[in-house]
Structure 1
């Protein structure tokens, strides 16, 4: 049998779509029997990443948390809320509530916090490959950008 004949028998239509969606945002599929906590974190993070990416082009507006306009923490709040997790409103509050992780352990869907002088001033969602989805500033929009600073912290939504 060819791989083409195996796929329909292994995946339902919904499962195939889910697998394709995960592939499109760079997600991973967990093996059966994976730890429930790891599966839940990966599932929420992957979903939040996908939701943030779906808002590409939405205009920035200070104090907005969607569904059509966002500031930085409004985008992360909205994406994680739609993925089934609650976050506080500001970037600093989101940093305070997240589980702090190292750059080497970051995963797609983790939060990336930009800081200066001990204060967190911006947040985005890690998309892999040194990039984030974020809503950067007035006159801009939700977009995928490279992480431009070394002054970042990483956090995982609990």
Structure 2
């Protein structure tokens, strides 16, 4: 099981800056559909999303990236995982992702939900929650897709909230 080996083999994870994650990538088209669908993802789809995200740990970061072969930025990772798992087409920018889906209280968080970060209420970064307060994300230029905890000082100071993706 690739995701288990990836998950278990992770050592201490360096915290990196969020270069370029909040801006619209060069290859994203303005006017992408940002209207949420009517129902939340199933529990099975949510679990599969977290497993897919864990399997991508180690993939290189690339601004505007949205494939394992080409690399990912934070929103590209989210779009890739949810399209593969549930046929969902999330918005392509962090700002739009931060308003998409349903807001979720930390007490109702499940694997597969989105974790939104920023400052002053403005979203600049997002990841996929995998359980136990951990999330998978593509944090910065020169880095790789990685796993962090929302309780780490850097991330805890920037946590804005959680969103539940909607099904198509």
TM-score, normalised to structure 1, is 0.72
1:20-35 superposed matches below 5 A: none
Q: Tell me the CA shift for residue 102 of structure 1.
A: 0.7
Q: Is the 1:41–1:157 Cα contact (8 Å) retained in structure 2?
A: no
Q: Is the 1:115–1:153 Cα contact (8 Å) retained in structure 2?
A: no
In the alignment, the residues of structure 1 paired with residue 95 and residue 49 of structure 2 have an alpha-carbon distance, to the nearest angstrom, of: 19
Number of residue pairs aligned between Structure 1 and Structure 2: 126
Q: Is the 1:77–1:87 Cα contact (8 Å) retained in structure 2?
A: yes
Greater relative CO, 1 or 2 (CA 8 Å, sep 6+)? 2
Q: What is the SS of the residue equivalent to 2:45? A: helix
Gaps of 5+ in 1: 1-16, 26-36
In the alignment, the residues of structure 2 paired with residue 62 and residue 87 of structure 1 have an alpha-carbon distance, to the nearest angstrom, of: 17
Q: Tell me the CA shift for residue 67 of structure 1.
A: 2.7
1:1-158 superposed matches below 5 A: 40-68=41-69, 69-84=71-86, 85-147=88-150, 148-150=155-157, 151-158=159-166
Gaps of 5+ in 2: 8-38
TM-score, normalised to structure 2, is 0.68
> Deviation above 3 Å: which 4+ runs of structure 1?
none
Q: What is the SS of the residue equivalent to 2:156? A: coil
In the alignment, the residues of structure 2 paired with residue 145 and residue 56 of structure 1 have an alpha-carbon distance, to the nearest angstrom, of: 11
- Determine which structure has more spread, i.e. the larger CA radius of gyration: 1
User: Root-mean-square deviation (CA), in Å?
Assistant: 2.3
Q: Tell me the CA shift for residue 52 of structure 1.
A: 1.0
In the alignment, the residues of structure 2 paired with residue 118 and residue 145 of structure 1 have an alpha-carbon distance, to the nearest angstrom, of: 21
Structure having the higher helix fraction is: 1
